[in-house]
Amino acid sequence: MLAHDKTIRRRLHIKACATEIVEGFVKGDLLVGSRHRVQCWLESVPPIPRRACGGYTSSIVALAAMLRISQPELNTLRQYAEQTYPEECCGVLLGRTDSETNHVLAVVPVENVAAAATRGTRYQIAPEELIRVQRTAREQELEIVGFYHSHPEHAAQWSQSDWDEAHWTGCSYVITSVRKCSDDEKIVRAQSGETRSFRLSNIGAAKQFAEEEIVHDAV
């Protein structure tokens, strides 16, 4: 069997299993918050290389990964970071993949449902909310290409909790630093700073984040 045929069969297997997981959440077969069961399944699926038609990726992503996003959409996620300060904001990036590039076509803010006392340093997206976003993406013939969140009073660098909670290989994880500042009139407000993106590749012991270039499109 040709290597390309094997890749296609593995991709179809992953798609079928992913569908079972999503339907399981919908039907209640997988309890909300049963992240451990989903993670165990993910670790059992072998990574496959990304091609022009999309899919998941191996560590080759570190060589040429790129995130393309329009300036208005980038402004949206940065403004959301300021609005939710001093708590972390979070959201989902919808779009399409083209070779090693994730194209963002829509930014979807979602509620941070992490425990109230921890929202300044971590974020969590409810499974049912993620399913809703997946349905929206499917209706628009898009896919989830990444996630974003903010780091209040911290640099735009992934934390240990970000690493632990990242499971969507091939997706871009965008982080915006946001800090308290004051203007000439001494009015204190939150202002977003640096925004960086990290592509997740592999799972298990080979899991890694690789920083990718963010290309801003005018529209």
Average pLDDT, the chain: 78
pLDDT average, residue stretch 11-32: 43
Which CATH number applies to 50-217?
3.40.140.10
Sorted by where each begins, the domain ranges of the chain are 50-217
**Would you tell me how many other CB atoms lie within 10 Å of the CB of residue 21?**
17
**pLDDT confidence band for 188 (50 / 70 / 90):** confident
Q: Give the DSSP H or E segment for 68.
A: strand 66-70
User: CA-CA distance, 63 to 31, in Å (whole number)?
Assistant: 38
The yes-or-no verdict on residue 204 having pLDDT over 50 is yes
Overall average pLDDT of the 81-92 stretch = 97
Give residue 58's pLDDT band: very low, low, confident or very high (50, 70, 90): very low
In the predicted structure, residue 9 carries a pLDDT above the cut 50? no
Does the pLDDT of residue 185 top 80, yes or no?
no
Confidence of residue 1 (pLDDT cuts 50, 70, 90): very low
Residues 6 or more apart whose CB falls under 8 angstroms from that of 124 comprise 90, 112, 113, 114, 165
Enumerate residues 6+ apart whose C-beta is below 8 A from 126.
32, 110, 111, 113
- 106 C-beta neighbours (distance < 10 Å), count: 17
Q: 33 pLDDT band (50/70/90 cuts)?
A: very low
Residues 20, 185: Cα–Cα separation, whole Å: 56
As to burial, measured by CB atoms within 10 angstroms (0-12 exposed, 13-18 middle, 19+ buried), residue 206 is: exposed
**pTM of the predicted protein model:** 0.72
Contacts of 135 (CB under 8 A, 6+ apart): none
> What three-state secondary structure class fits 63?
helix
